[in-house]
Amino acid sequence: MGQKTHPYALRVGYIYNWKSRWFSKADYINFLHEDLKIRKFVKEKWGFAGVSDVEIERSGKKVRVTIHTARPGILIGRRGSEIDRIREEIQNLTESEIHVDIKEIKLPQVNAQLVAENIGQQLEKRVSFRKAMKKSVQLAMNKGALGIKVMCAGRLGGAEIARTESYKEGSVPLGTFRADVDYGFAEAFTTYGTIGIKVWIYKGTILVKKEEAERTKQSEQKQHPEEGTAGEVKPEAVAASEVKAEEREASQTKDSPDGEIPGVDKKESGNGSDAEQS
């Protein structure tokens, strides 16, 4: 059987955070449907501004909505006038107090959701699917992606029999948990029928657990610098003892008469010379 999983869901809690951050037992159903309404409303209303993601965070009666967009100027407006309108419109969907944050996507060519939507828009404008896919792959690789895979399925080019075609460049390690693999899905509604587009973009490796362990270790050392672990010899102490030993040896050789080796008796040295003469 197939072993496919959603690349984001597979890594949640390991290198990715949840897109909805709240906890509730009594109001779980209401909060869930509110989140779905807010996401759908933002995507439909301001999708043209390159909205790739909507994060929702709740604390008490306050809701913070973070919109990730490639064109923040459209959502912010002149002196933030548009943000106030967005806040008022989202406020109509919920009874909680709404706060809106806008985050800019600096490289939309490497954002999988925006790449998939871009291909979908081109297919609706009757652009050749091969041309659209190849162009997206090339742009992503030029902008620093380590790997990309694009897949289109449906009546490609108006063919009677639906098929799947894909292009891949670089490496896309879907089974590696610490690999930062961005995933996007979009649909193109053409006159022939619906065409589905999937995009996977590999951006590198995230070593979150290791970095956190090193950070906590460094903070502990700063808090207790004089305390060493049991049985551990500090390298500074070893170096100091070696320097002292060398100084002691140098002083002994300086004080001893010429030709004598410190720590060796005269008799022993005499016996040695007799043996050499014989």
Among 118-132, 156-170, 225-239, the least confident range: 225-239
* Residue 242, H or E segment: helix 235-255
CA 14-15-20 angle, to 5 degrees, is 85
Residue 12 DSSP label: B
- CA 153/CA 123 separation, integer angstroms: 12
Mean pLDDT for 116-130 is 95
Q: What per-residue confidence (pLDDT) applies to 230?
A: 47
What is the overall mean pLDDT for the chain? 84
All structural domains of the chain: 7-106 (3.30.300.20), 109-205 (3.30.1140.32)
Scan for tokens 């809106």, then name that residue: 100
> Which of the two residues, 270 and 150, has the higher pLDDT score?
150
Please report which confidence band the pLDDT of residue 278 belongs to, taking 50, 70 and 90 as the band edges.
very low
CA 90 to each of CA 40, 64, 82, 219: distance values in angstroms, whole numbers, following the listed order: 11, 11, 12, 42
- In this prediction the pTM is 0.73
What residues have CB less than 8 Å from 47, skipping those under 6 apart?
117
